[in-house]
Amino acid sequence: MPMVHELTVKTGKGKPDVMAALDALIASEYIHWEDKSNTANIVILEGWERESEKPKLPEAPIPALPNDLSYWTQY
């Protein structure tokens, strides 16, 4: 797999880690890779993270706006 080497260089990961990541992408149906002789044969099925898999940020409360008097009394 000639181009897997390029992925190991660019990611800093070993071949087993790169292959595991590609297998996970196949299992999650992000990519299709039937002919595994070359990474050029990878077909991207979905190029972005799915909404259901995105981390949810906690909703921050809206800060109360200070009244005009607080400027003079707090600074």
Find the helix packing angle between 15-27 and 2-11, rounded to 10°. 100
Helices H, strands E: what count in the chain? Answer: 3, 2
The predicted-structure confidence for 11-46, as pLDDT tens digits, reads as follows: 999 999 999 999 999 999 999 999 988 889 999 999
pTM score, whole prediction: 0.64
> Contact, 38 vs 6, CB < 8 A?
no
| Amino acid 70: pLDDT | 66
How many whole angstroms separate alpha carbon 43 and alpha carbon 33? 6
